[in-house]
Amino acid sequence: MLKFVTDAVRWLIDALTDAMLALVDHYAKRPTFRIAIADSNAVLDALGNPIGRLIGAVEPLQWQPQDLPARLAGASIDIELPRSWTWRRSLPPIASENVAYLNTFVSHQIERISPWRFCDVYYRVISRPIANDPAKLAVEVGIVPKQYVDAVLGAVRPLGGRVELVTSPEPDRETLRISVGAQADRLRRHLRRATEIALAVSVLLLAGWSGAIQWRMAELQTALVDLDRTIADRKAAIAASRSATDSGGAALLRTKRAARPYVVELLDALSAALPDHAFLIDFRFEKDEIRISGISTRAPELVATLERSGRFADVKFISATTRLDDGRADHFQLQMRADARAVP
């Protein structure tokens, strides 16, 4: 498991480094020159015009004209190789999830498929999804023996620019480009180091942020426990206070209840006491007094009837009765006091 994580991190760092190198190359705006080895090491500008060449049978090779290095310093230089100098071989497909191990896989295959040792070649790995099997990658490796190009590289590398070995165009084949410049190597090392530091700092910040969140959650959990305990204590105190005052409070409520019956019970008592010839229209209960109004065919008998019920006292008319328009009944208004002891 640890090896898998280590390889995955290494692959991530390599991928980020390659991406940053691509951005640097894209925005650097360096002039580009080409050295055609097949054309006697002719040096060509971006338009293909010859501007000089490398000459000599032994190292170090010499620039012609002699001021050519000043023009090439810091530029991007493509060294165009003859096809016969490049070995390109297809390797067995690999699963897409094993892309992190691709370079390790290729490094072990180079000595098997070529007559050179791994340390004696420059190489480039090209991988692409297989059309009918996206879960696998087709892998191709391009190999250039160092002995073929070291003489030219010995003259080009001190210029400090980006240097790439480039294969001659071939039908139906992607052009192979292998970065070999000293500046590219230095830049790759610097960018890789910066990427490693940035990832390490990110991991530390993430760990610190996660730790701070967990600490805050623990602090909130402790506060919740304390709050629950405080609420429980207050509930217990309130319950004890209610228990201590229950007898006095309940007695007071019972006293009030006995003195002032509920309105619903008064209505029930009034409905039971009124005779069938009386109909209630309005009911009011204020300050222990009851006022009612209604219609009855024998209104004068109501006072005696309500008092005989034993549930009401001090029953009296508060206004004269009035005959309805049809003459069949009278409208009455009565005032009385409820006897709380007589109301169930």
At 101, which CATH number?
Answer: 3.30.420
Task: Assess whether 285 and 177 both reside in one domain.
Answer: no
Question: Cα–chain-centroid distance for residue 159?
Answer: 48
Task: Assess whether 28 and 170 both reside in one domain.
Answer: yes
Task: Assess whether 134 and 11 both reside in one domain.
Answer: yes
What per-residue confidence (pLDDT) applies to 11? 61
In a domain, 321, yes or no: yes
What per-residue confidence (pLDDT) applies to 268? 84
Distance CA(156)–CA(78), nearest Å, equals: 10
Task: Assess whether 181 and 98 both reside in one domain.
Answer: yes
pTM of model > 0.85: no
Q: Write down which residue in 159, 174, 193 finishes a domain.
A: 193
What DSSP string runs through 10-58?
HHHHHHHHHHHHHHHHHHH---EEEEEGGGTTEEE-TTS-EEEEEE-SS
In a domain, 47, yes or no: yes
Task: Assess whether 93 and 187 both reside in one domain.
Answer: yes
Q: Which residue has the tokens 């003259």?
A: 155
Q: Write down which residue in 171, 193, 215 finishes a domain.
A: 193
Block mean pLDDT (10 aa), the chain, length 344: 62 69 65 90 91 86 92 89 88 82 80 88 87 85 92 88 84 81 61 81 89 91 91 87 64 59 78 88 85 91 88 88 88 85 52
Domain extent for 321: 263-342
In a domain, 161, yes or no: yes
What per-residue confidence (pLDDT) applies to 67? 92
In a domain, 98, yes or no: yes
CATH of the domain at 295: 3.30.1360.100
Distance CA(79)–CA(94), nearest Å, equals: 31
In a domain, 94, yes or no: yes
In a domain, 226, yes or no: no
β-pairing, 32-36 with 76-81? Answer: parallel
Task: Assess whether 156 and 36 both reside in one domain.
Answer: yes
In a domain, 203, yes or no: no
- Cβ pair 178, 164 in contact under 8 A: yes
Distance CA(61)–CA(52), nearest Å, equals: 13
What per-residue confidence (pLDDT) applies to 111? 85
What per-residue confidence (pLDDT) applies to 81? 92
Task: Assess whether 180 and 269 both reside in one domain.
Answer: no
Task: Assess whether 161 and 31 both reside in one domain.
Answer: yes
What per-residue confidence (pLDDT) applies to 331? 92
Task: Assess whether 46 and 170 both reside in one domain.
Answer: yes
Task: Assess whether 141 and 282 both reside in one domain.
Answer: no
Q: Write down which residue in 168, 193, 218 finishes a domain.
A: 193
What per-residue confidence (pLDDT) applies to 182? 55
Would you say the C-alpha torsion 183, 189, 193, 199 has a positive or negative sign? positive
Q: Which residues are within 8 A (CB) of 64 and not within 5 positions of it... i.e. 6 or more apart?
A: 52, 53, 54, 55
Task: Assess whether 46 and 146 both reside in one domain.
Answer: yes
Question: Cα–chain-centroid distance for residue 328?
Answer: 83
- Cβ pair 106, 123 in contact under 8 A: yes
How many domains does the chain divide into? 2
Task: Assess whether 162 and 71 both reside in one domain.
Answer: yes
In a domain, 136, yes or no: yes
